[in-house]
Homo-oligomer: A and B are copies of this chain.
Amino acid sequence: MEETVFLNGSLVPLSSARISPLDSGLLYGYGLFETMRAYSGRIFHSDKHLERLLRSAIFLGIHTGMTVTEMEGHLYSTLEANGLNDARIRLTVTGGQASTIPDLITTTQPNILITARPYSPPNNRVYEQGYSVQISNTRRNSQSTLSRIKSLNFLDMLIAKREAKQTGHDDAVLLNDKGMVTEASTSNLFILVKGVLITPSEESGLLPGITREIVLELAGNAGLSRAVRGVTLAELYRAEEAFLTNSMIEIMPLTRVDGQVVGDGRCGSITRQLMTAYKERVRKECTSE
């Protein structure tokens, strides 16, 4: 069966979905996206993802003309049209067709695209072993708003990840222009230092993820001390535990940085506790009636 995508109000076969070559998302990266995970036919915290996207759209001057509830309806229609229960859903919103002249971006109607594809998480062995990351030579720009929104300007991250993979790592962690730790190419980062769970602050120049927010909440519920602040590379190297978070991988232990072992080189006990709490949260949100 051919994949079905949602495009500007309609569910259409992928092969007949057409984006104009003058779309401003294509020409200049003028647009936003969200990636969400569906479990058993329920999209985990789609509300938080959609609220974030709509906030960023206002900043960029993109008027979707849709409420969170309407958008949510389209996410579910796309999921169902593809007969999927466990899936990776991507929502892309662009500024719409642009003049080719790079100016005040006078665009027409935005383009709204949703894709849903089957998703299986990495297997348990990967979670037990944890990720190995490389510190990228590419730096995040803490002095640009784009570092803090999920825009279509995503190439720096993909280049950093590709370079990391080419040298045998699972992912790249990027520092900012001042040398402080920010995030991995598609995930946020947490470290445990003297029993305090720390994640770099938004001002460091990173995208504050939905999973990051949920993990902070779960850590609070579990009575853990938490801090959101600048994190140095030395702190990452010497952390007792570390892990990465995003909607797809959930919580992934981070066990090696630039070839050096983090903590005892295995999934730490606080990390494991949070992984279990997250699974429990998913179970509560996505399987109850």
Residues of A within 8 A of B (CB): 5, 7, 14, 17-23, 25-31, 33, 60-61, 88, 90, 92, 94, 100-105, 113, 115, 117, 137-146, 151-159, 161-162, 165, 177-178, 185-186
Contacts and interface: CB of A to CB of B under 8 A. Distances in A.
B101 A88 contact: yes
A154 B28 contact: yes
Contacts of A20: 14, 17, 19
Contacts of A141: 139-141, 144, 177
Contact of A19 (B26, B28, B142, B177): B26
A185 B26 contact: no
- How many protomers of this protein does the assembly include? 2
Contact of A145 (B26, B101, B117, B138): B138
A146 B154 CA distance: 11
A154 B178 CA distance: 23
A276 B61 CA distance: 40
B94 A90 contact: no
Given A7-B21, A14-B22, A18-B18, A28 B102 contact: no
Given A22-B14, A88-B100, A104-B165, A159 B139 contact: no
A84 B248 CA distance: 49
Q: Which 8 A-B pairs have the closest CB atoms?
A: A139-B143, A177-B177, A141-B141, A153-B153, A29-B29, A28-B154, A18-B18, A26-B26
